[in-house]
Structure 1
């Protein structure tokens, strides 16, 4: 879907574009298109979705009430329901599916993927084939594909794994940096998005790059700081492919380089900057969801 191109800089439309979005990370909130927070949640989060009916689903960081993390659902009237209480070290991700189920991952001595019913009943469960020494660095944004299989980025395994419904490994996308067999540049996959005709967009955090694989597993598009006006890619974590083909990237630690560096960056296929969001903080947004663009609501399942 993407082709390599040389950036021509900041798009002329960048100052005109507005987005309303959900932010998950050190703070959890919905930011209005006017730059004012419409809603806040008092806990740190890993992942989250706003559904078409206004329901919000969040994967919570661990804290005293939920020492293994949790997944909660918040109705439009503010009523909060527990979907899943983590049983190990962390709950790393949650995806509400079109079928009304929830796909989550747990980190710990026995890392696993679970698909739950709306009431929390386990429908699918299998172990994840990632390393077990470092729980926090096991997996991140796991997603269910249209064919019923799953994509799971495994950070310290330097690969995105493709699992079938029984946990069988159908394939892997190698996210290592070419020419770096000893992983001196940490290329940890955080988000893997299936889009277009079998392409997979992957954010690789410490290697400060975003890559797009074709359906044969070949990297056909790469974004690095050399393509941007500044050192904006600092731990690129979450991403979303918009309906117009642009991608939005969360640069978690951009503020460590420059407090005014953007935490969210929208990029065209030609690597022009179409929109940015800055919050003045050192670190912040792990993942997000663009909810509307220029006042037009985005409906259906977001590609994130």
Structure 2
């Protein structure tokens, strides 16, 4: 066989090697398995970078692997819970065609929290049968359904933490819909509203601070109880410029922060920084709208990853 023919075969075989196996990179020896809710792929990636579960439906927005191993996923039109056999055991559909669902979180009481954007935006809690047992009206300050809200979370005090993009605000709601606190994200030092620092994910941390991703502003900030910035990252800190429309985020038990760059079409799609703002891990395969880190170097993440 001629040398050129052998070379072509070697190149062809090399091209068949799954890119997922080299998608995770870390100079610190970090390897994660994680769930992704993304525009093209929604499923679970193991620490070797291989797909171990695939929903086979594009465009997911939120979701989790639950403690019992079931998988909860939110798309714009529906929320579904799958068991380990990939059977649907819970389903909730939007009431009207123009509405958009944006959140799916399993609560400690067994209910599932869902956000509905539309003419009457609200949070709903549904029971195990998919029936609405609680409804909380929201105040997104816009009729733009797609830009009203994204991932909402329920706090330990029973209130709800809700990011509103075009309102440039993270609002805390009581169960009756009363707003009891607001964090504004149109920071003057970043250019005000022209910088499009829209809040997308807001997470109440154990220290009482709130971690917020600022989408088009390409920033992630941690706010204290008064809304002051106590920690932040932006692309000026990194040569790679990894922040491209950051959406999902997760603060790990070791204090590191993982961020999804939803707008990245190539290169880094997710990355992890330590408290000193050093990048310690990157992922370059599937785009992520939201995610959940499941294990690190073979050990499950302790405690609730998001609240």
Q: Does 2:160 correspond to 1:145? A: no
Alignment partner of 2:236: what SS?
Answer: helix
The 1-side partners of 2:206 and 2:305 are apart by 14
- Runs of 4 or more off by more than 6 Å in structure 1? none
Tell me the CA shift for residue 126 of structure 1: 1.9
Bigger RCO of structures 1 and 2 (CA < 8 A, at least 6 apart): 1
Tell me the CA shift for residue 25 of structure 1: 1.3
The 2-side partners of 1:159 and 1:108 are apart by 18
Structure 2 gaps of 5+ residues are 1-24
When normalised by structure 2's length, the TM-score is 0.87
Q: Is the 8 A contact 1:73 1:82 kept in 2?
A: yes
Q: Does 2:290 correspond to 1:287? A: yes
The 2-side partners of 1:31 and 1:122 are apart by 32
Tell me the CA shift for residue 147 of structure 1: 1.1
Tell me the CA shift for residue 111 of structure 1: 0.7
User: Which residue of the other structure, out of 37, 40, 43, is the alignment partner of 1:24?
Assistant: 37
The 2-side partners of 1:182 and 1:16 are apart by 39
Q: Is the 8 A contact 2:142 2:167 kept in 1?
A: no
For the structure 1 residues 182 and 195, does the alpha-carbon distance in structure 2 shift closer, same or farther, using more than 3 Å as the test? closer
Structure whose CA Rg is larger: 2
Tell me the CA shift for residue 178 of structure 1: 1.8
Tell me the CA shift for residue 219 of structure 1: 1.1
More helix by share: 2
Q: Is the 8 A contact 1:98 1:301 kept in 2?
A: no
1:282-301 CA-to-partner distances (Å, cap 9, x unmatched) read xx210000010000012542
Q: How does 1:89-238 map to 2 (within 5 A)?
A: 89-179=99-189, 183-238=193-248
Corresponding residue of 2:276: 270
When normalised by structure 1's length, the TM-score is 0.88
Q: Is the 8 A contact 1:111 1:132 kept in 2?
A: no
For the structure 1 residues 84 and 31, does the alpha-carbon distance in structure 2 shift closer, same or farther, using more than 3 Å as the test? same
More strand by share: 1
Instruction: Name whichever of 181-190 and 133-142 sits farther off.
Output: 181-190
Alignment partner of 1:240: what SS?
Answer: strand
Alignment partner of 2:193: what SS?
Answer: coil
Q: Is the 8 A contact 2:26 2:282 kept in 1?
A: no
The 2-side partners of 1:286 and 1:53 are apart by 23
Tell me the CA shift for residue 131 of structure 1: 2.6
Corresponding residue of 2:4: none
Corresponding residue of 1:242: 252
Q: Does 2:90 correspond to 1:76? A: no
Structure 1 gaps of 5+ residues are 1-11, 62-68
Alignment partner of 1:254: what SS?
Answer: coil
1:106-164 CA-to-partner distances (Å, cap 9, x unmatched) read 01111111112222232221211013421000000100011111000000000101001
| CA root-mean-square deviation | 1.7
The 2-side partners of 1:248 and 1:300 are apart by 16
